[in-house]
Amino acid sequence: MHTLIARVARWHLVANATPTPAPAHASQATAPWRQAAVGALKHALQDAKDISQHAALVHDAQHARQLCEQTDTLDEAVVLARVAAYDYAKGHYALARTAWERVLEVLQREQGSEHPATLTNMDNLASTLQAMGELPAARVMQEQVLAARQRVLGVEHPATLNSMNNLAGTLWDMGELPAARAMQEQVLAASQRVKGSEHHDTLSSMNNLALTLQAMGELPAARAMQEQVLAARQRVLGVEHPDTLSSMNNLADTLRAMGELPAARAMQEQVLAASQRVLGVEHPHTLSSMNNLAGILQAVSALPAARAMQEQVLAVYQRVLGSEHPATLTSMNNLASTLWDMGELPAARVMQEQVLAVRQRVLGAEHPATLNSMNNLASTLWNMSKLPAARAMQEQVLAVCQRVLGSEHPNTVSALGNLLRMLREAKDQTRIKAVAAQYPVTFAKL
């Protein structure tokens, strides 16, 4: 007997005596079996957002996707939401978006626009839009969710604070770091007051604020906050808890940014050893630790070791996540950077072109990650003396960053800086003056 059929049979026998009404499109004969299948899949896909469980969920996700091609009931909406979470974890954002939108329609119709489940689904949809680079649309939706939760639940309800945190993340991605910081400071103050200084949510809020401080260049303040979070997590959760290891990882990154590379390397090696022991060698957090350690090895010019580690990470990502997952593409990008530093520019170029092609196809031509790939490839082309192609690509990156991200976004400022370096090396004073006049706000940030 097929696994799903067997599960449906068992589920049908123990089904609730007061089931959700069958949808109008189901016949009297098939409705009980459809409902039983929905119940079985609802149970089977509970861990759909955990990518480490995906190998065992492939067939369940496929069956659920087919079953929910038409979604009418709340139970069907729950199953489809878990399919969306599955797709999101795999980096299939377009599929996740479509599913979240269909779930939202059912929830709004059946439970209303301000029901907690409806608002949670809106938050999930907004996070998907954020991942797709549709930042203004994500921001609008997150602002709607936040306003509703403030009105219905109150300004210090945990769900309201979570909405503020999510909105701050989108503001961060949009380059509005002062606004993100202000919102994160509000969340932290409320969490400390309501939940206490060592509550999990409070420590997460401190961690988020520290990352913003790091991005704003306030490294000593970020370090102090991260050390405080790490000490609390070590005391409350233990030294090898995943959250503790995440804190060590973040602190190591700040130490790297401060130029304290030996200390950063030692801490990152501790994180990696513990992650391998506690989580396993192919867990996403372990691979992230390997990737971060490889970055430090690259920074200290231990390039062969960095390359070997990045190749190992990439091989696992390709096998476990697939060749087009965002984490796989980031891993390829990092390896290309190491190849670049080793002087292997043709190999770096090939890998960067592969990453760019996938990001253009999957994320779109104007996604921030796509623009980052173009920026990296332009630099490689320039150093290979492919000057016209490099300059044209850098001009394109700058124009799109200006239009999509705004004049003051860090990526726009970086793109302008890269173009100006090319123009100076080419001694093109006329174009330098024209660019300065064309992008005066961005130019003033350099």
Write the pLDDT tens digit of every residue in 242-260.
999 999 999 999 999 999 9
User: Is 162 among the domain residues?
Assistant: no
Handedness of CA 76, 152, 207, 240 (dihedral sign): negative
User: Is 416 among the domain residues?
Assistant: yes
Q: How many separate domains does the chain show? A: 3
| Claim to verify: residue 315 and residue 289 sit in the same structural domain | yes
Torsions phi, psi of 49, nearest 5?
Answer: -80, -10
Among candidates 65, 44, 43, which has minimal Cα distance to 56? 44
pLDDT tens for residues 364-384?
898 889 999 999 999 999 999
| Claim to verify: residue 38 and residue 67 sit in the same structural domain | yes
Are 93 and 329 in contact, with CB atoms under 8 Å apart?
A: no
117 or 4: which carries more pLDDT confidence?
A: 117
Q: What secondary structure does DSSP assign to 84-97, as a single string?
A: HHHHHHTT-HHHHH
- Run of H or E including 82: helix 74-89
Measured between alpha carbons, how far is residue 284 from residues 253, 290, 317, 442 in Å?
A: 17, 10, 9, 37
Confidence of residue 37 (pLDDT cuts 50, 70, 90): confident
Q: CATH no. for residue 303?
A: 1.25.40.10
| Claim to verify: residue 258 and residue 365 sit in the same structural domain | no
| Claim to verify: residue 317 and residue 216 sit in the same structural domain | yes
| Claim to verify: residue 15 and residue 87 sit in the same structural domain | yes
| Claim to verify: residue 115 and residue 211 sit in the same structural domain | no
User: Is 166 among the domain residues?
Assistant: no
Range of the domain at 262: 206-325
**Rounded distance between C-alpha atoms, residue 41 and residue 127, angstroms:** 24
Eight-class DSSP state of 59: H
Are 283 and 246 in contact, with CB atoms under 8 Å apart?
A: no
> What is the model's pLDDT at position 356?
97
First to last CA, the chain: 67
> What is the model's pLDDT at position 188?
97
| Claim to verify: residue 389 and residue 316 sit in the same structural domain | no
**Rounded distance between C-alpha atoms, residue 313 and residue 308, angstroms:** 9
> What is the model's pLDDT at position 364?
87
Res. 30: pLDDT tops 90? no
User: Among residues 125, 154, 184, which one ends one of the domains?
Assistant: 125
The pTM for the full model equals 0.81
Backbone Cα Rg of the chain: 24
Confidence of residue 27 (pLDDT cuts 50, 70, 90): low
Are 170 and 141 in contact, with CB atoms under 8 Å apart?
A: no
User: Is 197 among the domain residues?
Assistant: no
| Claim to verify: residue 10 and residue 119 sit in the same structural domain | yes
**Rounded distance between C-alpha atoms, residue 199 and residue 69, angstroms:** 41
User: Is 172 among the domain residues?
Assistant: no
> What is the model's pLDDT at position 28?
62
| Claim to verify: residue 212 and residue 251 sit in the same structural domain | yes
**Rounded distance between C-alpha atoms, residue 305 and residue 349, angstroms:** 21
**Rounded distance between C-alpha atoms, residue 208 and residue 187, angstroms:** 10
412 backbone φψ class: left, alpha, beta (φ>0; ψ -120 to 50): alpha
Res. 43: pLDDT tops 90? no
User: Is 26 among the domain residues?
Assistant: yes
| Claim to verify: residue 356 and residue 273 sit in the same structural domain | no
Quick one: tokens of 166? 């999510």
User: Amino acid identity, residue 76?
Assistant: E
Quick one: tokens of 80? 């489809």
User: Is 332 among the domain residues?
Assistant: no
pLDDT tens for residues 147-205?
999 999 999 999 999 999 999 999 998 889 999 999 999 999 999 999 999 999 999 99
Three-class secondary structure assignment of 372-411? HHHHHHHHHHHHCCCHHHHHHHHHHHHHHHHHHCCCCCHH
User: Among residues 92, 125, 158, which one ends one of the domains?
Assistant: 125
| Claim to verify: residue 308 and residue 282 sit in the same structural domain | yes
User: Is 135 among the domain residues?
Assistant: no
Give every CB contact of residue 17 below 8 A, 6+ residues apart in sequence. none
Res. 267: pLDDT tops 70? yes
User: Among residues 97, 125, 153, which one ends one of the domains?
Assistant: 125
Range from 8-22, 24-38, 48-62 carrying the lowest mean pLDDT: 8-22
> What is the model's pLDDT at position 373?
96
**Rounded distance between C-alpha atoms, residue 358 and residue 336, angstroms:** 15
**Rounded distance between C-alpha atoms, residue 331 and residue 337, angstroms:** 10
| Claim to verify: residue 246 and residue 303 sit in the same structural domain | yes
Task: Work out the number of other CB atoms within 10 angstroms of the CB of residue 184.
Answer: 26
- Alpha helical stretches, state H, 321-386: 326-341, 345-362, 368-383
